Amino acid sequence: MPQETIFSKIIRREIPANIVYQDDQVTAFRDINPQAPTHILLVPNKLIPTVNDVTAEDEQMLGRLFTVARRIAEQEGIAESGYRLLINCNRDGGQEVFHLHMHLVGGRPLGPMLKRA
């Protein structure tokens, strides 16, 4: 069984978070350390540690992440100006919390996708 992270507690509302959306499959809440005026994490309610652990069974829920992201971007008023969706995987991807999540970042020009090393 994969190890739970703090995100499971947020999903179950056992610890506080600024939750902006929740349904039976996905929970979205504001990042505690925002990198831009809008920085929201979209998290499957099911504990999937990394992208490496997704299966065909998860395809419908993964699609839900995108439709929820689209709706939240509209609510945040950044749909037209633009935003970035990103998912980090494992060490080189910079993943810190091992419960799969999509970052929705926007509200300012985000610049190039990757910093040069």
> Which residues make up the interface to ligand 5GP (CB under 6 A)?
6, 17, 29-33, 41, 88, 94-97
Q: Catalytic amino acids?
A: 101
Q: Which is nearer to ligand 5GP, 91 or 116 (CB)?
A: 91
> Nearest-CA neighbor of 29 among 37, 16, 40, 39?
40
Report how far residue 90's alpha carbon sits from residue 92's, in angstroms, rounded to the nearest whole number.
6
In the complex, least distance from residue 69 CB atom to ligand 5GP, rounded to whole angstroms: 15
In the complex, least distance from residue 17 CB atom to ligand 5GP, rounded to whole angstroms: 5
Report how far residue 54's alpha carbon sits from residue 52's, in angstroms, rounded to the nearest whole number.
6
Strand-pair category, 26-30 with 83-86: unpaired
Which single residue is written with the structure tokens 């809008």? 38
Q: Which is nearer to ligand 5GP, 29 or 78 (CB)?
A: 29
* Six token digits for residue 76: 């945040």
In the complex, least distance from residue 114 CB atom to ligand 5GP, rounded to whole angstroms: 14
Q: Which is nearer to ligand 5GP, 74 or 97 (CB)?
A: 97
> Nearest-CA neighbor of 72 among 32, 13, 18?
18
